[in-house]
Structure 1
Amino acid sequence: MMNYTLGKGNYTNWIVSEVEFSPDTLGKCESIMYLGNGYMGMRSTTEEPYLKETRNLFVSGTFNKFDEEEVTELPNLADITRLDIRVDGERFSLEFGETSEYVRQLNLKTAELTRSFTWTSPKGKALRFHFRRFVSLENLHLIGIKMDVESLTHPVAISFDSGINAQMSNSGSQHFHEGERRIFDKRFVQLIQTTIQSKIDIVMNTAHKVAVNGVEVNEPVMNMDRRKVWLSFDANLDPGDQLTMDKLTTVYTSRDKDFDHPEYDLSKLREHSLEDLRTSYEQGYEALFQAHQEAWSQKVWNAYNLEVNSKDNFDMLALRFAMYHLTIMTPAHDERMGIGAKALSGEGYKGHSFWDSEVFILPFFMYANPKVAKSLLKYRYLGLVGARKKAAENGYEGAMYPWEAAWPTDGEVTPVWGAVDIVTGKQTKIWSGFIEQHITADIANAVHQYYTITGDHEFMDQYGYEMIFDTAIFWASRLEWNEEKQEYHINQVVGPDEYKEHVDNNAFTNHMAHHNMQLAIHYADVLKEENPGRFAELNERLHLDTAYPKWQSKSEKLYLPQPREEDLVIPQDDTYLQLKEIDLTKYKNQEKVGSLFNEYNLEQVNQMQITKQADVVILQLLLEQAFSAEVKKANFDYYEPRTLHDSSLSLSSHAILANDLKEEELAYSLFKRACEIDLGPSKHSSDHGVHAASIGGIWMSAVLGFAGVRVLDGKLRINPNLPKHWDDMKFTIYWKGQPVNLTITQTSLTVKAENKETIVFETYGNTYECQDQIEINLNK
């Protein structure tokens, strides 16, 4: 059972708690309380093992293919969290004896996981357990674990095994060759793994400091087994005695930038990683945790400054939860790596990056941490290699981005087969990797958004222009001429609504492809004028003089679905509005996502007016300047009742548009439902990992939605419309490189330019110029 009210004082609205242990619902807290720093992510499994646990440790970018018939995925590294504890020689488990005062909690402010409880053994002996754990934001390679055990009532013998266990897999797929295991000085344990196909070396080191009442226990017993090395400790406790264990671990790989070079030497990696552990060991858990806590304070909480004064405390906690996870899921240290759809919290989607990154996660970094946004877009630039490969393989020109991406040069890595077909009993084919193509335009639009918000000319010169041009070249080659209608179409695609496969002229795809080509025309003109040398370089490589007239002529003749005269509804595709309708009430009120497929298969759903997630609605957010308020309302009213929100991406999009349409109560309810995808009472919704894009959507709903921060025609617009129970909202964004502090109340907007550089913005149709601070009365 979850509880979000245990934080007091300085920790009010900072604590995510579980106050009742259940061995049958472990996945939720393992995921939503996972620890990480962008370099690695570690699921928050309990120390003692249980049948339904999932122990995961991932390091960004270490992709590997287990077999030629499978796609590449992030491999599950060796586990260092498990402790096999024995009390009076019998295995310790909360499934035995009696447990009281149980609390497991994640402190978002300090990024530390704790768990404490009093346990009475089947023999009637009471002990108090307290566990702590962190993955350092100060030293990206460091993990700290601490255990305290106090005997409360009787003399007791306690022993435990702890070390490095590489007997792990990805749901049965083993990604590693067994490497060398070693124990130095009966204290420092080292284990090496090497991925089977990608040949990445993983070096893990761990060390323990175990004491009773402050006095270190005798030397441990050393043990090794296949893919496993560990130490065994034992002690006797009298009532009031306390056993403490500090366990520190370092994780390094040959993919780390410092070692990924032609002169790479495994022995040097081993030596360096072990030395880091020795140095950390001398400092100890407490000092290392303090450095980690300070890093969170300076790099995250003091930098983003987001505060909401709401009558519902859950709102502030949910926003902090979002910023916590956006921080730990993002490989800010390395532009060769992207963000997985399940972040680093589970095996779901194999660590692959989707359109989620650009549409739902990147906006946070564009406004709040442009340096990280730039790194994430450089990942896509490096991915041009794979995108060009995919285009060529499909008979197109330019760059066609993979639907699922892993290492930048891998190209398309979407699995071909998925879940069971409820009618045929066969595996369902996953068509997204073949025909869900809008991601190419989504990435180009993200480049444009980044440049508009930051004014980063260097990025555009080195990376951005090339990305926009080459994606536009793809679209020009992708269009199909319809002789009868004398216009170009885009046929046989999947749009954002993945319940409609093999459709023609998906509105989202067509409009975004058109936008992509228009951006290319605009930026070609800009570049030729402002930097003719760079234009010449790209012209030689991409043949822009040939591509430019194709962009002009084809974009002019590309069919763009328009609002119908009778009701202003934009056809989602050529056939959607002619499909049959069914009563969706029970599916709209479902407890488990995807319940529709207990009764229909995808082929049948394809013939009904049922939408998985925002399609036309998200189009009207990304290209909002192209649609009037009347058209937005008509389409929201038409499509929302037909949308099941079976994708976690959907609710935040609808929340933002609902708020724009002054449907404030609906907007807030959608925002709260988005927050509850991971934080809500559902016990299994997060079993396979957190919903990374939805987490980005929580922030978007608040800042782009309720605070009304948007870019419109290249200009900053701030149209606040806070929920009625929000008294005020404060946060920092960056505009053209300058931090800008915003304070919003129900009646006013205050804008402060931190560097006192002039900022021009629009609020409710009025243009303002601010060089220091300005307060605006909101007459909405």
Structure 2
Amino acid sequence: MNGWTWEYDGYEPADERLRESLCTVGNGYFATRGALPECAADAVHYPGTYVAGCYNRLTSAVAGRRVENEDMVNLPNWLPLRFRPRGQDWLTPDTATVLDHRQVLHLSFGLLERRTRYALGERRVLFVRQQRLVHMADPHLAVLRTEFTAEGFADELDVEAALDGGVTNAGVPRYRELDGRHLTHVHTGPHAPDTVWLRCRTRTSDIRIGMAARLTVDAPVSDRHEPARALQRVRLRLTPGRTLTVDKTVALHTSHDPAISDPLRAAVDRVGAAPGFDELLETHTTAWDQLWRRAELDVPGEAGRILRLHLFHVLQTLSPHTADLDVGVPARGLHGEAYRGHVFWDELFVLPYLNLHFPEVSRALLRYRHRRLDQACAAARAVGGRGALYPWQSGSDGREETQQLHLNPRSGRWLPDHSHLQHHVGSAIAYNVWQYCEASGDAEFLHTEGAEMLLQIARFWADAATYDENLGRYRVKGVVGPDEYHEAYPEAERPGLDDNAYTNVTAAWVLTRTLDVLRSLPEPRREELVERTGLDGAELSLWEDVSRRLHVPFHAGVISQFEGYGDLAELDWSGYRSRYDDIRRLDRILEAEGDTVNRYQASKQADVLMLGYLFSPAELQALFRRLGYGLDEHVWRRTVDYYLNRTSHGSTLSGLVHGWVLARDRRAEAWRFCLEALRGDIADLQGGTTGESIHLGAMAGTLDLVQRGLTGLETRAGALWLDPVPLPELSSYRFSIQYQGHWGVHLRLEHGRMEITVPPSDRPPIDIRLPDRSVGVEPGETCQLVLADY
């Protein structure tokens, strides 16, 4: 491999699902898994195509209950293209002899290439080469080029291409008891001698889908139509050493597209006007070149190669095309069906990266949240509260999509799911609003949609806080923190925990920042907001009071994850590690044993330590000081050590957060966690989950680890703040950012020296702040800084 390819040699059925996820190609509008076109969905393969924001809701019978789930829909499969020598069986790597097989994902221009040599007996070999792309310039097009070469024989080869509407959502084993038949009214037909079409709609959301395929080949094409499938067939005459080419060009539209009337007509027209493969590849490559220039990231070695793969998948899920859509950040990308394609808090790990490269995409993703603000306010009212209660899992319309039951695959039992109590998702949205506006300088958004979201999220926290006379502080009760293992106190009849430290500290931050924003609003806008929301002085006084007196529990000289955490039993970590190969999902292990993780000081992922991920040491200390607590370096280090010994890392985000925090506190141990974050998906460290779809938050987070974590980069008070930390394994790197209208600001760090180049423009100079100095860098200038104590 080189730094711009991701390659697999040999055919390994057990690895196929993982390869399909990591070889997904997409463009921010839709993506298609890297399945082999001649293979149908089965125990080994799972082709899937997903359009951003295309959801459907179905009701299923589970464990004697009727449960409703909304899923990102697996759309008709445009990939199928199978082949066979005349009179023989269709060739697949599972049924024929494979001499060589190689897949190469070309990251530089978004193309998936496969090369396979099938043995046909009697020294007859068929060489198949395919190139696949989902077009980055025209988001509604995809193309598959297939080349056949006969080695040592002449024969006729039957080729069959299809559009298959008979697909279901069946890519996640633990969901298979649920109804996955999302498509209905599937119809197919011909349009021209070389073109067929398929149309259908989703069963309850009634999204209309149109798809058209054009087959380009130097031979007559016939079409045939089966229930839910449009077929095109051609017979090729193979001669030794001569390569024959079949191009399949596909267009995809849905009724959710902007400026759409009839999705089928749009698809037919688009595929008819599409140029040939070579021209499509050229414009596709140009679009990718432009993306890579805006998202430049150069890190040497294996870490750099993995980071480039991560960046590739982030760009395929959230490209500039996403800015035209009403969609959020799908936690598992557009790469499969895990988490049902829902939007969680993972944007907390994604937007800080996008803010400095594609701010128009960040703005669009935040507007997805703003459009659902009324729904969040309704959710707060439904539980007797005020303000906005955003859902832990969001989909099409912003209602709570968190499942009511979840399956423990280890025990086979369906269990109540209380993760909807993770109300801290609202604070994540507020954090992203603030970070976006600081990085982009977008005062218009901050003063309008941003201020509205901040106000209602702050209102929720102030209302949710109850005053405790004994403590003389406010408390937030009945929530779940980022840990997710702990949903209730042992033996409690009701779920929820009190005073989760992460929840309370971030709530205090939201209240503080919202007060700042309200004070800085232009007077006419403030009056509008006050009139529309009924905000008054008494409420603002309450916010001020709550922001200074929220309770943060401590025990044994460390921050408690929640009130009572220190009273829980200690787990026999060494005993469980010796009994089980992998204890990342300790909750499932204990439940299968008839026990519960709620009894133990054992966390799935970073919870308290998330505070060190979101806030710089100085800002975190200031937050605690405002709350009336001392948080010096010794308390924080004891807290880091305490939870480091009590975390199973059952989430791909956990290694990322620990690596980020330890880079400043315990550098010798930081790399182990950084490496786990880098390898989380490529090595499928969670045990089978990557084959269901990638972990987008963890991938984007590793990019931000270099961009902000190692540099200490903050966009604050109109300046770029930098406080680099030396991590020997990542001691040199280079990247570019877009900051407040400056395009292509280059930062390079090597051997304790930082170089900052600001491209020529009519923008004002950039104010750079380091711990020991401040410098201004004019457009067109380069500044070189020697870092003290680096």
Tell me the TM-score normalized by structure 1: 0.91
Check the 8 A contact 2:211/2:253 in 1, yes or no: yes
The change in CA–CA distance for 1:571 and 1:37 in structure 2 (over 3 A counts) is: same
Instruction: State the partner residue of 2:63.
Output: none
Check conservation: 1:652, 1:700, Cα contact below 8 A.
no
CA apart distance, 1:20: 1.7
Which residue does 2:480 correspond to in 1?
Answer: 494
Q: Determine the structure 2 residue equivalent to 1:635.
A: 639
Structure 1 letter corresponding to 2:398: D
Contact 1:389 1:411 in 2 (8 A): no
Q: Specify which of 765, 777, 790 is matched with residue 770 of structure 1.
A: 777
- Determine if contact 2:328/2:343 at 8 Å carries over to the other structure: yes
The alpha-carbon deviation at position 125 of structure 1 amounts to: 1.7
Distance 1:685 1:592, change over 3 A: farther
Distance 1:414 1:726, change over 3 A: closer
Q: Superposed, which structure 2 residues align to 1:82-161 within 5 Å?
A: 82-88=80-86, 89-122=88-121, 124-161=123-160
Aligned equivalent of 2:64 = none
Q: Structure 1 residues 670, 421: CA separation in 2 closer, same or farther (over 3 Å shift)?
A: closer
Structure 1 gaps of 5+ residues are: 6-11, 211-215, 260-264
Residues 612 and 44 of structure 1, relative CA distance in 2, 3 Å threshold: same
State the 1:621 CA deviation.
2.4
The alignment status of 1:746 with 2:751, answered yes or no, reads yes
TM-fit CA distance, 1:720: 2.1
Aligned to 1:177: 184
Query: CA–CA distance in 2 between the matches of 1:717 and 1:38?
Result: 31
Q: Does structure 1 retain, via aligned residues, the 8 Å contact 2:356–2:737?
A: yes
The alpha-carbon deviation at position 712 of structure 1 amounts to: 5.7
Contact 1:361–1:697 (CA<8 Å) still a contact in 2? yes
Query: SS at 1:167's partner residue?
Result: coil
Distance 1:631 1:335, change over 3 A: farther
CA apart distance, 1:592: 7.4
Q: In the alignment, what sits opposite 2:176?
A: none
Q: 1:432 aligns with which of 409, 419, 422?
A: 419
Check conservation: 1:720, 1:744, Cα contact below 8 A. Answer: no
Contact 2:165–2:229 (CA under 8 A) maintained in structure 1: yes
Letter paired with 1:208? L
For 1:744 and 1:595, how far apart are their aligned partners in 2? 40
Corresponding residue number in structure 1 for 2:519: 525
User: Which residue number in structure 1 is paired with residue 287 of structure 2?
Assistant: 295
Superposed, 1:304-703 pairs within 5 Å as 304-308=295-299, 310=300, 313-330=301-318, 332-357=322-347, 359-407=348-396, 409-420=397-408, 426-433=413-420, 435-501=421-487, 502-527=496-521, 531-545=522-536, 546-561=538-553, 567=557, 569-585=558-574, 587=577, 590-591=581-582, 593-594=584-585, 597-600=588-591, 604-624=596-616, 625-627=619-621, 628-661=632-665, 663-680=666-683, 684-703=688-707
Report Cα offsets for 1:203-231 as digits up to 9, x if no partner.
Answer: 00001112xxxxx11232x2111111111
Structure 1 match to 2:161: 162
The alignment's C-alpha RMSD in Å is 2.1
Q: Which residue of 2 aligns with 1:232?
A: 233
Is the 2:125–2:150 Cα contact (8 Å) retained in structure 1? yes
Q: For the residues of structure 1 that align with 2:439 and 2:258, how far apart are their CA atoms?
A: 29
Contact 1:421 1:428 in 2 (8 A): no
For the structure 1 residues 428 and 101, does the alpha-carbon distance in structure 2 shift closer, same or farther, using more than 3 Å as the test?
same
5+ residue gaps in structure 2?
Answer: 61-66, 171-178, 488-495, 622-631
Q: 1:554 Cα shift? A: 2.8
1:236–1:63 CA distance, 2 compared to 1 (3 A): same
Q: CA deviation at 1:728?
A: 2.7
Q: Structure 1 pair 597/655, CA: closer, same or farther in 2 (3 Å)? A: same
In structure 2, the residue corresponding to 1:418 is in which secondary structure? strand
Which one-letter code corresponds to 2:682 in the other structure?
L
**Aligned equivalents of 2:572 and 2:653: distance in 1?**
23
| Distance in 2 (alpha carbons) for counterparts of 1:70 and 1:181 | 30
What amino acid does structure 1 have at the position aligned with 2:782? Q
Give yes or no for contact 2:210–2:265 (8 Å, CA) kept in 1: no
Deviation at 1:681, TM superposition (A): 6.5
How far the C-alpha of 1:200 sits from its partner, in A, is: 1.0
**What's the CA shift string for 1:162-204, capped at 9, x where partnerless?**
1210000112511122233110122111111111111111100
SS in 1 for 2:649: coil
Report the alpha carbon displacement of residue 632 of structure 1 after superposing the two structures with TM: 2.9
Q: Please give the per-residue CA displacement for 1:547-575, whole angstroms capped at 9, x wherever unaligned.
A: 3122123333321335x5x63x1011111
After superposition, the C-alpha distances for 1:526-584 in whole angstroms (9 at most, x for unaligned) are 11xxx11111111111112153122123333321335x5x63x1011111122111232
Q: How far is 1:246 from its partner?
A: 0.3
Cα deviations across residues 378-411 of structure 1 (Å, max 9, x unaligned)? Answer: 111112022112112111111110101112x331
Using the TM superposition, give the Cα deviation of residue 732 of structure 1 relative to its aligned residue in structure 2, in angstroms.
Answer: 1.1
**What does residue range 7-156 of structure 1 map to in structure 2 within 5 Å?**
12-49=2-39, 51=42, 52-67=44-59, 69-88=67-86, 89-122=88-121, 124-156=123-155
Do the aligned residues in 2 keep the contact of 1:722 with 1:746 (CA within 8 Å)?
Answer: no
Question: CA shift at 1:516, angstroms?
Answer: 1.1
Distance verdict in 2 for CA 1:639–1:712, change over 3 Å: farther
Compute the displacement of 1:644 (Å). Answer: 1.2
1:603 Cα deviation from its structure 2 partner = 6.1
Structure 2 length normalisation: TM-score? 0.90
Identify the residue that residue 221 of structure 2 maps to in structure 1.
219
Q: Secondary structure at the match of 1:496?
A: coil
Partner of 2:270: 276
Give the secondary-structure state (helix, strand or coil) at the position aligned to 1:523.
helix
Q: Which amino acid aligns with 2:526?
A: F
**Equivalent pairs: percent with the same residue?**
25
Give the Cα–Cα distance (whole angstroms) in 2 for the partners of residues 421 and 273 of structure 1. 41
| Contact 1:500/1:606 (<8 A) preserved | yes
Question: Any idea what SS the aligned residue of 2:725 has?
Answer: coil
Contact 1:79 1:164 in 2 (8 A): yes
Question: For the residues of structure 1 that align with 2:122 and 2:597, how far apart are their CA atoms?
Answer: 57
Deviation at 1:156, TM superposition (A): 2.6
Amino acid aligned to 1:691: H
Q: Secondary structure at the match of 1:749?
A: strand
Q: Distance in 2 between matches of 1:457 and 1:128?
A: 58
Q: Quote the Cα distance in structure 2 between the aligned partners of 1:372 and 1:188.
A: 35
SS in 2 for 1:105: strand
